[in-house]
Amino acid sequence: METTNCCEVEIEFEEKQKDIGIQCDLGKGNDLKTLEECPKHEKKSKESSIGNVLDVTNAAEIQFYTGFQDYEHIKFIFTIFGDEVNSLKYYPKMKTLKVPFINPCDQFLLVLIKLRRNMLFTELSFRLKVNKTVLSNIFITWVNYLYYKLKELKVWVPKQCIDKNMKYYGKINPCTVIVDCTEIKIEKPKNPLTQQLTYSTYKSANTLKVLVGISASGCVTFVSDAYGGSTSDRELFEKCGLIDKLEPNDIILSDRGFNVQDLVCHKDVTVNVPEFLKNTDGQFETSQLRRSKKNSSERIHVERVIGLAKTFKILSGKLDSKLVPLAGRIIFVCFMLTNFKNNIIR
């Protein structure tokens, strides 16, 4: 999350974000032991179990606590991480990790539970019989790890590929990307300048705003960094880096608030927005009405994807101030995880 003269995310979070990112280095170091390297005497005699939170054999419980259909689905996602999950460095940097043994797959499941249900670390601590600070450190480590790992996935799809894919299903591709902004409420910051930068007049609360882009098939292909809630949609579009991904003849579908055609005209990119009634004598022509209806029917999918991402309750409630430095990464992870769910467009 950067800080500029404009209303981007707050100054006081910048250093914290950098610290968290640095301390989640995935490389191996001599000053930090992994869970597997911890001596046996450093583990509690009674090992904690994810079974104290949910029954992994019960598909209904898995769906309720994680949002995924069953435990096999979660294990399938877990396989993409490879063996590196066995050598993660846990936040913050410590010489040893005095924690009970929780295998990496259970740690991943624990993170999904936190994202989906937004349970307090205190509650999870009681259930797992693990110190809540340890659970918090595991969560921070995994959010950083998932952020970098999921960022490696090449989810941006060029228009040519989308055209071929849509043609295979007998459909016409309406666009390259469908964009919209969404806001996540946060606790009111103590710094007055930060309060001003994050205050959203639309939500009447302090928020962080991100721009989300999806393909015509409903796959999340772009999630921006988090900016202060006072940032306008146009300003966010200009600064988020989406323009760099666009190519000549690309088409963007957006809401009326995105008056950004002048920002992409030099790349020969078209921005389709719903028609305005201004200068139409209060009535659309038939061609305008059809075009507007078609664009709206396609654009609504991005709102459905945003709604799907916000089934992770950590995004639908007010984000704890202690997690605000990680907000951009938490939001990114939640949206990327929706790509592993059933497609919203059938």
**Residue 221: what pLDDT?**
95
Alpha-carbon distance of 71 to 50, in angstroms, equals 12
- Give yes or no: residues 184 and 283 share one domain: yes
Bridge-partner residues for 184, per DSSP?
Answer: 208
DSSP 256: T
- Give yes or no: residues 48 and 172 share one domain: no
For residue 290, how many other CB atoms are within 10 A of its CB? 11
**Residue 40: what pLDDT?**
45
**Residue 12: what pLDDT?**
41
- Give yes or no: residues 226 and 327 share one domain: yes
Q: Would you state the structure tokens that stand for residue 13, as one six-digit string?
A: 């979070």
The reported pTM is 0.82
Domain presence at residue 297 = yes
**Residue 33: what pLDDT?**
41
- Give yes or no: residues 177 and 326 share one domain: yes
Half-sphere exposure of 196 (CA within 13 A, CB side): 7
**Residue 139: what pLDDT?**
95
Whether the Cβ atoms of residue 267 and residue 243 lie closer than 8 Å to each other: yes
Alpha-carbon distance of 131 to 220, in angstroms, equals 35
Domain presence at residue 103 = yes
Q: Would you state the structure tokens that stand for residue 337, as one six-digit string?
A: 């995880």
Residues of the chain with pLDDT under 50: 1-46, 95-96
Domain count along the chain: 2
Domain presence at residue 328 = yes
Domain presence at residue 66 = yes
- Give yes or no: residues 229 and 293 share one domain: yes
* Closest CA relative to residue 49, chosen from 94, 107, 6: 107
Looking at 151, 177, 193, the residue that finishes a domain is 151
**Residue 277: what pLDDT?**
53
Model pLDDT for residues 69-128, shown as the tens digit of each residue: 999 999 999 998 988 888 888 888 654 455 556 888 999 999 999 999 999 999 999 998
